[in-house]
Structure 1
């Protein structure tokens, strides 16, 4: 038996704003939104129950945003890697994320030697945009 990786929980000041930002950034949908939490999942995944175990395991993961009183003070110990497909314009995707409010950050990477770009969402959570991929 195995467990399913169900969701990634993101601590933040404004769960609704963060969920909207990430849903826009990833072209996802928000399926749950209360003052205590907001959930974004891939479009087409659906929020309805799935009875069959294999189909349930095949579903993607979601992002759960929950409020916390403290602010972010250090580099994330866990972050999300995003990758464009080889048919996409990576630089255009980075520019799109920046137009939504992402900012470039340096967490110690040597810009000349890396194939990824480190960005932060509007609340400062780091994530990477990797080189283009087809798998």
Structure 2
């Protein structure tokens, strides 16, 4: 038995702004939005029901943004890793993220790592890995 990783839930203050920031970052689209949650999924994802279990399990996860009142106080215990393709400009992608409101953060990583730690506009850490083709 196995289950599909369906979504990752992100706690935040401005759920609409965070959802739109991540949708642009990942080339996702908003599929649901109200005052209590905003859900985004890959632009290419099927939205019709999937009868085949293997196809259902192969679908990529979405992100759901929900409101919280408290401030973020410590490093995330779970974070997203992003990776550009080898044909893409990794430094350019990082610069674009920084231009859109991401910030560089230090979470204890040594200076010689192959990834860059950033935080989204509300301070949630994520990494941009080295370029790869798989």
Contact in 1 for aligned 2:7/2:62 (Cα 8 Å): yes
Cα distance in 2 between the residues matched to 1:124 and 1:47: 30
Taking the aligned partners of 2:101 and 2:48, their CA distance within structure 1 comes to 31
Tell me the alpha carbon deviations over residues 36-82 of structure 1, each in whole angstroms, 9 at most, x when there is no partner.
10011111103222122111111100001000110100000110000
- Answering whether residue 16 of structure 2 is matched by residue 25 of structure 1, we say no
Partner Cα separation in structure 2 for residue 58 and residue 32 of structure 1: 21
1:109 paired residue number:
109
Maintained 8 Å contact 1:25/1:100: no
Structure 2 unaligned segments of length 5 or more: list them. none
CA contact (8 A) 2:4 2:58 kept: no
- Is the counterpart of residue 99 in structure 1 residue 94 in structure 2? no
User: 2:7 is matched with which residue?
Assistant: 7
Q: Any unmatched runs of 5+ in structure 1?
A: none
Cα separation, 2, equivalents of 1:130 and 1:76: 17
Cα root mean square deviation, aligned: 0.8
Q: Following the alignment from structure 2 to structure 1, what is the Cα–Cα distance between the partners of residues 69 and 51?
A: 37
Runs of 4+ more than 2 Å apart: none
